[in-house]
Structure 1
Amino acid sequence: MFASTLSGLEGFIISHGAWAVFTGSILEQIVTPIPSSLVVLGSSFIIMKGTVLSSGSLEMMFLNITLPAALGVTMGSLLYYGICYKIGTPFVERAGKYMGVSVEDLENVEKRIKESRYENLFLFAARCIPVIPSIAISLFCGMIKYNPRNYVLITFSGALVQASILGIIGWQFGSFYLTISESLSFIDNIILLIIIVAFILLIIKNKRDK
């Protein structure tokens, strides 16, 4: 799967450059089988291949990889964020009784998170760390109706940091990016499962504490 994906990705990036990175970053936020690290790691290896580390090459990476990727991640993440922002409560109203969760439970969790002094810092750190599933973050923020303006600004800022880290890794380590992508994809799935279970347990705990 990864070999064929990378083969198509390479041709697309060579033909379209920064636009390919932008488009690919949007798709990786929407299509879950695509690892969230694949586009930046692959494009940095392809675009930056043979270049020497310098201020000029760093500028090239920023304009062709980091910035387009951050914009794509931000725009792509808005889909799941928006869906959960709009239908989160109706979903809980309809399906919550089968999971032991009510709208009041969700509102209680939302209130605690919004009262936290570190909610913005947490979201920023989550967006910076490449191994945290981006889709899980988008769904959760939509579910708790995280402030849209703050969501866009922090997501973009965190995506810039993440794209810079992954871009340098893909650029400097070249052929190892496929192995890294597969490893991060596996870790993504494990962490996503942990986040979902932890969120459900938190809601159940809040319900029992009432």
Structure 2
Amino acid sequence: MNLLHVVEQLFAKFGYLVLLIGLPLDFIALPIPPGNSTLTYTGYLSYKGVLLLLPAFLAALTGALLGVTITYAIGYQIGMPLVEKYGKWLSIKPEHVQKVRRYYDKYGNTMLLFSFFIPGIRQFIGYFIGMIRVPFRAVVIYAYLGTLIWVTAFFAIGYVFGEQWQSVFLLVETYLKYLFIGLGCVLVGLFLVRWLIRPRSS
């Protein structure tokens, strides 16, 4: 079944509850409904007058913030014990957590502002920042701000572009995919250059 059709059916049946329940599920790594298309469709329904603009936006933001907070709390409280005990079945090893820690130490809180736009990262970033013990104050300032930017951006696509929202949404999704693939290639290239030019021990 088409995911957009699923989103439409859920909105028809549950209304605002889709945002308060569905968006946290997206962060918990159960993306039914998927976050990006749900937010964009919410904006479109607000454009059509099916949903009220402010309540719809606030419900979307609240659902997303709940998702970040819940996954952060799970990661903080029980994340590392689970990884150490069951990580091999989850394809997550303690080394992966340490890798996230190194990235966080290097790029700081900036990564929390944009990680929600990266496909596949949004569903895990909350767990990982909990496991590496990012202070909750930093989560509130940076991860919550990143969530606000993400919600606003995709909500605005549906509200601003109206009947053309699907075309614009697909275009944005495509460009985001290419952007992050390109950034990944650049980072790999920089790593290889640094590795090739580093001094060799005799």
Q: TM class, shorter-chain normalised? A: 0.5 to 0.7
Matched with 2:25 is: 27
**Identity over the aligned pairs, expressed in percent?**
24
Structure 1 residue 109: Cα displacement: 5.9
Structure 1 residue 84: Cα displacement: 2.2
Higher relative contact order (CA 8 A, sep 6+): 1
Matched letter for residue 142 of structure 2: I
- Give the number of equivalent residue pairs: 178
Matched with 2:61 is: 70
Q: TM-score, normalised by structure 1?
A: 0.62
Describe the superposition over 1:96-122 as per-residue Cα deviations: whole angstroms up to 9, x where unpaired.
68989557x855863x45544x41122
Residue 11 of structure 2 contacts residue 18 of structure 2 at CA under 8 Å; is this kept in 1?
no
Describe the superposition over 1:45-86 as per-residue Cα deviations: whole angstroms up to 9, x where unpaired.
1122279xxxxxxxx74x233333222111122333222222
Change (3 A) 1:136 1:73: same
Q: What does residue range 107-126 of structure 1 map to in structure 2 within 5 Å?
A: 110=101, 112-113=102-103, 115-116=105-106, 118-126=107-115
Q: What does residue range 40-189 of structure 1 map to in structure 2 within 5 Å?
A: 40-49=39-48, 61=53, 63-95=54-86, 106=97, 110=101, 112-113=102-103, 115-116=105-106, 118-127=107-116, 129=117, 131=119, 133-178=121-166, 180=169, 184=173
Residue 69 of structure 1 contacts residue 159 of structure 1 at CA under 8 Å; is this kept in 2?
no
- Structure 2 regions of 5+ residues with no counterpart? 188-202
RMSD (CA atoms): 4.2
